[in-house]
Amino acid sequence: MQLFILRHGKAEPMLVNDAERALTERGRRQVAQVCNRRAQELSAVRAIWASPFVRTQETAAIVSAQLGLSVTSEPLLIGDTNPQQLLDQIQAQDTFPMLLVSHQPLVGSLLNGLCGSDNRYPMATSSLACVSAEVWANGCAELEWLQHTE
């Protein structure tokens, strides 16, 4: 099974409410760029889950438009969620490949935990990773690739 992990694009600075921060124009371009580079791989995605925050919903909408899929808002994808809670939820799914759109520190913890890589793989804004596994648990996945923007 494959799991794609995408960190939201560059967002505007925090003014009052972190959840309401929108993508910048640069952030939108970078997300589109990463998705275009990995369009062939992303074409297999069957489900998109995104954090309910504005910047992740906007990021997911860019991918959604490319793939023609709807986006499911998943509160477990907020950045400070315990990765094990999310892994338990993912393990119960049957719609793979799946794309998760989220924030730091969750995307980094999730990717590095699944791969047992001790923070070896950085997840900058608009970074997209693909991992494969038979079971979604720490140390049980293999990184297929990690795409960053230029």
Confidence check: pLDDT of 150 > 80: no
65: left (phi over 0), alpha (psi -120 to 50) or beta: alpha
**What pLDDT does 15 receive?**
78
Homologous superfamily (CATH) of 2-10+20-147 is Phosphoglycerate mutase-like (3.40.50.1240)
pTM above 0.95, yes or no: yes
pLDDT score recorded for residue 80: 84
Query: What's the pLDDT score for residue 68?
Result: 96
Q: What's the confidence (pLDDT) of residue 113?
A: 96
pLDDT at 22: 96
98-108 pLDDT, tens digit per residue, is: 999 999 999 99
3-state per-residue secondary structure call for the chain? CEEEEEECCCECCCCCCHHHCCECHHHHHHHHHHHHHCHHHHCCCCEEEECCCHHHHHHHHHHHHHHCCCEEECHHHCCCCCHHHHHHHHHCCCCCCEEEEECCCHHHHHHHHHHCCCCCCCCCCCCEEEEECCCCCCCCCEEEEEECCC
Query: What average pLDDT is seen over the chain?
Result: 95
The per-residue pLDDT for range 6-52, each reduced to its tens digit, is 999 999 998 789 999 999 999 999 999 999 999 999 999 999 999 99
Residue among 40, 96, 39 nearest 62 (CA): 39
